[in-house]
Structure 1
Amino acid sequence: METHRGADAPPEPLGGTHTGGRSWRTFTHRRQPTNLTRHRRIHTGEKPYKCLDCGKSFTESGRLLCHQRTHTKEKPFVCTTCGKCFTWRSNLIAHQRMHTEERPYCEDCGKVFTSRRHLNRHRRIHTGEKPYKCQDCGKSFTLSGYLLSHQRTHTKEKPYLCTTCGKRFSWRSYLNAHRLIHTGERPEKIYECEDCRKIFTCGSNLRRHRRIHTGEKPFKCRDCGKSFRESGRLLRHRWIHTGEKPYKCLDCGKSFTLSWYLLCHQRTHTKEKPYLCTTCGKRFSFSSNLVVHQRIHTGERPYVCSHCAMTFRQRDHLRRHQQALHNGESSDGA
């Protein structure tokens, strides 16, 4: 099939798309006008699709259609398990993990999350990373929300209004504590976290919460020295050393340390494929496989080789590329 490229275009590298320097993407003749025109908007910045409700512009009609749901409140993605509807496919996929319990988990403490984004944010507790810095006083925070909350100590902004008496507060937790005055439920003493302004009615709960900010991990594994913020997480971690696997598959007898490991495993017996690609109708047993598959339709290639800037749909493809061409050196983009 005929392709269109510049006369001086070098051959496209094997294994991925080169993103460094000039772009030499190729497009088939049959679909070339659509694909090439759409691709060139990356370079020109052209956004021909405009929302008539708010004026925001987009490079592709599909992105405009997705955006318009913020105005129409349309929720076309339905959970076949419970019937709940969602505006975005990604939200449906995250929600479905509530039913299947197939969720990303933290290797440090075992906590599970509905999305990898939430997991990445959580991991800052373990790494101590605080990327959000206050320009007024230099204090740093793990989450952007913590920084925004902190900045009110400088701006004196009070966005939270008590509709009963009209008093305003800088933090939602202050408003919630204040409301107890009107309901007659206010405790004798309240405890405030000085980092995020969260309010507690019990001092022990505040002390446990503060470990999120201080990084303190008082519960240490005597076998490997790994530390944890909570005793329950240490107990779960110790199953690695004891070999305890309390969750057993009734079909084959295989045992697992976590219940959601068992639920995922059981699909090898039931052949259940609850994750549907709404573009082509293909089904998958695990949401992670669906996410990778959807990149075929979206063109997303999130894994970038730091050595040559080639991009890949899957991390394993990047690793194989590095082993073959870069002496197995890992990429910063992995």
Structure 2
Amino acid sequence: MHSDQQEEQKPVKLEFIEDYSEKPVKMEFIEDYSENRSDPDQEPLRVKLEDTEEQIGLTVEIKKSEELDEAEEQHRVKTEEKYLSCSQTGSKLVLRSAIKNFTCSQSGKSFPYKQSLKGHMKVHSEEKPHTCDQCGKSFTIKYLLNRHMKVHTGEKPHTCDQCGKSFAIKYLLNRHMKVHTREKPHKCDQCGKSLSRKEYLNDHMKIHTGEKPHTCDQCGKSFTLKYLLNRHMKVHTREKPHKCDQCGKSLSRKEYLNDHMKIHTGEKPHTCDQCGKSFSRREYLKDHMKFHTGENPHKCDHCGKNFTGKRDLKFHMKSHTGEKPHTCDQCGKSFTLKHLLNRHIKIHTGQKPYKCDQCEKSFIYKQRLKHHMEVHSGEKPHTCDQCGKSFALKHLLNRHKKIHTGEKPHKCDQCGKSFIMKSKLTYHMKIHTGEKPHTCDQCGKSYTLKGGLKEHMTIHTGEKPHTCDQCGKSFALEFLLKRHKKIHTVERPHKCDQCGKSFTIKSKLMYHMKIHTGEKPHTCDQCGKSYTLKGGLKDHMKVHTGEKPYTCDQCGKSFRFISSFKVHLRFHSGEKPFNCNQCGKKFILASSLKKHMNVHSKEKPHMCSLCGKGFSGVNGLKLHQKRHSSVKNYVCYVCGKNYFTEAVLKQHQKRCCTQEENP
């Protein structure tokens, strides 16, 4: 009796194919909703009917009979009732011409069996009576629970004979085989795209219809598929159930974890057949291939700009909408993408996880470390085809090329000034707004950029970590050291195209060019004197105010300009940083060295217009000209004697007048 009950509970899967003379119809009943179904991988019993009569519908009855004779165990067909017997199970199938549909009152879906409808109704009632005892997940029917249990056991009995991949369920293997055969039988009648599975085609059709029936109840965002909505909900719940066992990082989706693991393994299985570059994900390779083909299929309908990937277009669209949904809770700065916010947060935490193994320098971003490593390697593979200058990174070369083309796409909407880089425009805009958010906590001075404050702080700390290996002079900033080194190499790459004069840095050439143009846009509102540079006017204003902020702590002398103050300090310290490379003589000032070099070259470029005598320096010429005019401006206050120069007067006072005053 017990064996009979088991026999009655054994499920049978049926697939019917009817061949009519005009239009073949295939009817498949592959899955039923029997709660007692135990083997989800069981192959269906396939029955093919060939009949010339038109059949409106088929009702299937399964009969069990132990009394079937050998004749009945073979396939037999009656005229009124069509019997099909299975020789393996002894089951008798009675096919009748009748319509018997069981329709769901909620969704309108029809089923051939009442039991199937009963199982379907659990979808609407959300009844899930079958619960996994290991993870607590519930299912509507028992066979789904049985299939789920293979996740815990790790059982994957169905193996692909081509690539060796294994699957828990046979239909997954059958579906996988289409990857090898590249079979895509389901074709979209609107765009012609072919897909391997019918459900993929159904999902794809929603792109054309624009249907998004699944809506998030928290943010209102809609999705074409329910699983996409479920995946999206993890953004609100911040659920990250998939954890990396190597670094402890948690991720919201399993595929993200799989991709993340490739960072640890270094696996990049997808290789470009044109340039050899490898990628961890196939879609990255697919996007990369568009660089070779020049394909930019995604076009912005606002500005007409094209992009290789849909994600790039989506990100670009935020520049038009101004949408920045991700806000820093510490400083209030907003970002278009969440990963940009996460990267920004590291500025507040001071976290610099990427460390150089050669110089111990640390970086917030991995890409910065990668760029930094090229400093040690010295590799500069990207070369400008116009001037031959090389760069470590391609984007630096692209930026450099704009110098040759004169392209300045970023324009200020207030004064019309244009810039090569967007960051330069952003910095420039602060001139108009007067914004100086970075303030020194010691003296209260403010700066528009954080880098400016950082440079300023070295004045208070006295820190000068960058030292010249030729003369030992130290500098607070690296760019100042680089500029200084040009003194030793006599490198002057920036040349004036009008007079041929060369300069060590570009800014000095730009300043020099204003001599030829005569441009002096900065005018003093008190005396009307004009200057080529804003800094010149700023320094000049100290003449009117009498301001001398730089005071020597040794002699008490004050100076208007920091440059004069620094030169003055050398007289106390005895520092002479400018060396003659021919005789070794040292000088406090660069101008003194320059004049001295004329001694070695015997060059006397400064000629007297009256007698033709030449002088190596302009001061010597001025002194000589006073002899022609007999002008003696320097008078001794003791004896009243006149002299041409202050130096000769001082010598006179030391020798004569001092002795007369102090007999």
Same fold? TM cut 0.5: no
Structure with higher strand content: 2
- For the pair shown, which has the larger CA radius of gyration, 1 or 2? 2
TM-score, normalization: structure 1? 0.42
TM-score, normalization: structure 2? 0.23
